[in-house]
Amino acid sequence: MKKLAVIAFGGNALLRGGQKGTYREQMLNVTETCESLLPFLEKDYNLVIGHGNGPQVGNVMLQHEAGSQEFGVPSMPIDFCVAETQGLIGFMIEMGLGKVFAKTGIKRNVVTLVTQVVVDKDDPMFQNPTKPVGPYYTKEEAEKYAAETGSIFKEDPKGRGWRKVVASPKPIAIQNVDIVKRLAEEGNIVVTVGGGGIPVVEKNGSLGGIEAVIDKDLASAMTAINIHADEFYILTDVPNVYINFRKENEQALKTITVAEAKKYLADGQFTEGSMAPKIRAAVLFVEATGHEAIITEATRLSDPACGTRIIA
């Protein structure tokens, strides 16, 4: 049988430091990242792609806010914005892969699924929301919006203003994951759990959206586990995982065990909001499947020994 790999695109797959985020910039970035998948395509892997949406969903929220203030167009909740960005980023990935196929003569279908991810409405993260989203406000504006909407705002640690914060609960189920598996095994490249998935909770026997942000690497790892993936890759902006990052004694890690990864996490070697969630997602996959997970930069994928490998 063909190997099945899940590849989680990092935020730099679409938008890089110093860029404005124009459509042209993002399209060029996506196409370059898609070109890095050639080693998998040439080996005829079955592929499932997850992706982040941090800058894009933030921009969409800014657009909604501007439309609301300037023209009275109602702004939309986060679950709506995540769905919106899943569609637009999926479109760009499909276009990027299409350019790669045109150059190489590869013929594959690419399918984007707007994916809901179920979280527990009683997840403790809802009691202490910490994930900042959307635009910055003055303290007065934040207090006004908090009174009007019931949203929670916190001051930015770098002094840039006040931002809305939401929970980042753990994913507990990926909707339509069986369809993802079937489509991938039929040879289609599937784009799913974009931005961690649209956060939903069970309400009276059906699912409804909720204000939350789900970690995209964790959602991708859960997808990889559920579809019985052979390999799991997390793409980021550095070639390896490091301990003592950006210090004189910085050390790139090549292969580490789950136990070592957990110790480094406990020692505070990995930053929250950066490498720590990626390590947790990799550990989750390895513990559940016994297969290795690889964290690396997209341009290194042609090297069979690329990145940092987390093994059992």
Considering 52, 53, 54, 131, which one is annotated as catalytic?
131
Name residues whose C-beta falls within 8 Å of residue 72's C-beta, 6 or more positions apart in sequence. none
Is 103 an active-site residue?
A: no
Nearest 5°: CA angle at 268, between 265 and 270? 70
Is 154 an active-site residue?
A: no
DSSP one-letter code for 300:
G
Is 131 an active-site residue?
A: yes
Considering 90, 96, 278, 307, which one is annotated as catalytic?
278
Is 107 an active-site residue?
A: no
Considering 46, 54, 196, 216, which one is annotated as catalytic?
216
- Please report the beta strands in the chain, taking only residues with DSSP state E, as ranges in sequence order: 4-9, 46-51, 110-112, 116-119, 131-137, 152-155, 162-166, 171-174, 189-191, 198-203, 206-209, 231-236, 241-243, 251-253, 255-257, 293-297, 308-311
Considering 11, 194, 209, 307, which one is annotated as catalytic?
11
Is 99 an active-site residue?
A: no
Query: How many residues in total does the chain contain?
Result: 312
Q: Which residues are annotated as catalytic? A: 11-12, 131, 216, 278
